[in-house]
Structure 1
Amino acid sequence: MPLLRIDTVAKKFGAFRAVDKLSLDVRAGEFFALLGPSGCGKTTLLRMLAGFETPDEGRILLDGKDIAQVLPHERPVNMMFQNYALFPHLNVRDNIAFGLKRAGMPRSDIKTRVAEMVALVKLDGLEKRKPDQLSGGQKQRVALARSLARRPQVLLLDEPLAALDKKLRESTQLELMELQRRLGMTFIIVTHDQEEAMTMASRIGVMDAGRLQQVATPRELYEAPASRWIAEFVGEVNLFDGQVEPHESNRLTVATRDAGTIFTAEPRHPVAKATVCVAIRPEKIKLSRRGPASDAVNAHAINRLEGVVSDVSYLGGFTTYKVKLDSGAMLRSSMANTARLDVDAYSAGQRVTAWFTPDDCVVLEQ
Structure 2
Amino acid sequence: MAEAAPGMDARAVAAESEGQVAAQRKTEAQADLPLLRIERVAKRFGSFRAVDGVSLDVRAGEFFALLGPSGCGKTTLLRMLAGFETPDEGRILLGGKDIAKVLPHERPVNMMFQNYALFPHLSVRDNIAFGLKRAGMARADIGKRVAEMVALVKLEGLEKRKPDQLSGGQRQRVALARSLARRPQVLLLDEPLAALDKKLRESTQLELMELQRRLGLTFIIVTHDQQEAMTVASRIGVMDAGRLDQVATPRELYEAPASRWIAEFVGDINLFDGQVESRDQGRLRVVTRDAGTVVVAEPRQPIGKTAVAVAIRPEKVKLSRRGPAADAVNAHAINRLEGVVTDISYLGGMTTYKVRLDSGAVVRSAMANTARIDMDAYGLSQRVVAWFTPDDCLVLDQ
2:351 is aligned, of 319, 323, 345, to 319
1:9 aligns with 2:9: no
Query: For the residues of structure 2 that align with 1:85 and 1:331, how far apart are their CA atoms?
Result: 45
Query: For the residues of structure 2 that align with 1:218 and 1:271, how far apart are their CA atoms?
Result: 23
Query: For the residues of structure 1 that align with 2:114 and 2:301, how far apart are their CA atoms?
Result: 40
2:197 is aligned, of 138, 158, 165, to 165
1:93 aligns with 2:125: yes
Report matched runs for 1:118-157 at 5 Å.
Answer: 118-157=150-189
Query: For the residues of structure 2 that align with 1:270 and 1:222, how far apart are their CA atoms?
Result: 19
Query: Which residue of structure 2 aligns with residue 218 of structure 1?
Result: 250
Query: Alignment partner of 2:375: what SS?
Result: helix
Query: For the residues of structure 2 that align with 1:92 and 1:25, how far apart are their CA atoms?
Result: 35
- Using the aligned pairs only, state the percent identity: 85
1:256 is aligned, of 260, 277, 288, to 288
1:262 deviation in Å? Answer: 0.5
Query: For the residues of structure 2 that align with 1:180 and 1:60, how far apart are their CA atoms?
Result: 23
Query: Which residue of structure 1 aligns with residue 100 of structure 2?
Result: 68
Tell me the amino acid that sits aligned with residue 321 of structure 1.
Y
Query: Which residue of structure 1 aligns with residue 71 of structure 2?
Result: 39
1:246 deviation in Å? Answer: 1.7
Query: For the residues of structure 2 that align with 1:337 and 1:344, how far apart are their CA atoms?
Result: 11
Tell me the amino acid that sits aligned with residue 246 of structure 2.
Q
Compute the TM-score of the two structures, normalised by the length of structure 2.
0.91
Query: Which residue of structure 2 aligns with residue 298 of structure 1?
Result: 330
Query: For the residues of structure 1 that align with 2:311 and 2:255, how far apart are their CA atoms?
Result: 10
RMSD across aligned positions (CA): 0.6
Tell me the amino acid that sits aligned with residue 366 of structure 2.
S
Query: Which residue of structure 2 aligns with residue 277 of structure 1?
Result: 309
Query: Which residue of structure 2 aligns with residue 343 of structure 1?
Result: 375
Query: Alignment partner of 1:247: what SS?
Result: strand
Query: For the residues of structure 2 that align with 1:261 and 1:246, how far apart are their CA atoms?
Result: 11
Query: For the residues of structure 2 that align with 1:353 and 1:109, how far apart are their CA atoms?
Result: 68
Deviations 1:219-269 (A, max 9, x none): 000000000000000000000001011221111111101001110112111
Query: Which residue of structure 2 aligns with residue 268 of structure 1?
Result: 300
Query: Alignment partner of 1:344: what SS?
Result: coil
Q: Any unmatched runs of 5+ in structure 2?
A: 1-32
Query: Which residue of structure 2 aligns with residue 29 of structure 1?
Result: 61
Report matched runs for 1:168-207 at 5 Å.
Answer: 168-207=200-239
Query: For the residues of structure 2 that align with 1:344 and 1:117, how far apart are their CA atoms?
Result: 53
Query: Alignment partner of 1:150: what SS?
Result: coil
Query: For the residues of structure 2 that align with 1:114 and 1:198, how far apart are their CA atoms?
Result: 32
1:308 aligns with 2:349: no
1:322 deviation in Å? Answer: 0.3
Tell me the amino acid that sits aligned with residue 132 of structure 1.
D
1:240 aligns with 2:272: yes
Deviations 1:130-175 (A, max 9, x none): 1010000000000000000000000000000000001100000000
Query: Alignment partner of 1:167: what SS?
Result: helix
Larger-gyration structure (1/2): 2
Query: Alignment partner of 1:171: what SS?
Result: helix
Deviations 1:264-297 (A, max 9, x none): 1121111110100110000000000010011111
Query: For the residues of structure 1 that align with 2:306 and 2:51, how far apart are their CA atoms?
Result: 33
1:326 deviation in Å? Answer: 0.4
Q: Any unmatched runs of 5+ in structure 1?
A: none
Tell me the amino acid that sits aligned with residue 299 of structure 2.
P
Query: For the residues of structure 1 that align with 2:371 and 2:162, how far apart are their CA atoms?
Result: 49
1:342 deviation in Å? Answer: 3.0
Query: For the residues of structure 1 that align with 2:141 and 2:70, how far apart are their CA atoms?
Result: 41
Tell me the amino acid that sits aligned with residue 113 of structure 1.
R
Between 1:243-252 and 1:232-241, the stretch displaced more is 243-252
Query: For the residues of structure 2 that align with 1:132 and 1:275, how far apart are their CA atoms?
Result: 58
Deviations 1:87-135 (A, max 9, x none): 0010000000000000000001101100000000000000000101000
Query: For the residues of structure 1 that align with 2:143 and 2:91, how far apart are their CA atoms?
Result: 37
Tell me the amino acid that sits aligned with residue 223 of structure 2.
T
Deviations 1:36-81 (A, max 9, x none): 0000000000000000000000000000000000000000000000
Tell me the amino acid that sits aligned with residue 357 of structure 1.
T
Tell me the amino acid that sits aligned with residue 39 of structure 2.
D
Query: For the residues of structure 1 that align with 2:44 and 2:377, how far apart are their CA atoms?
Result: 53
Tell me the amino acid that sits aligned with residue 155 of structure 2.
L
Query: Alignment partner of 1:246: what SS?
Result: strand
Tell me the amino acid that sits aligned with residue 271 of structure 1.
I
Tell me the amino acid that sits aligned with residue 350 of structure 1.
Q
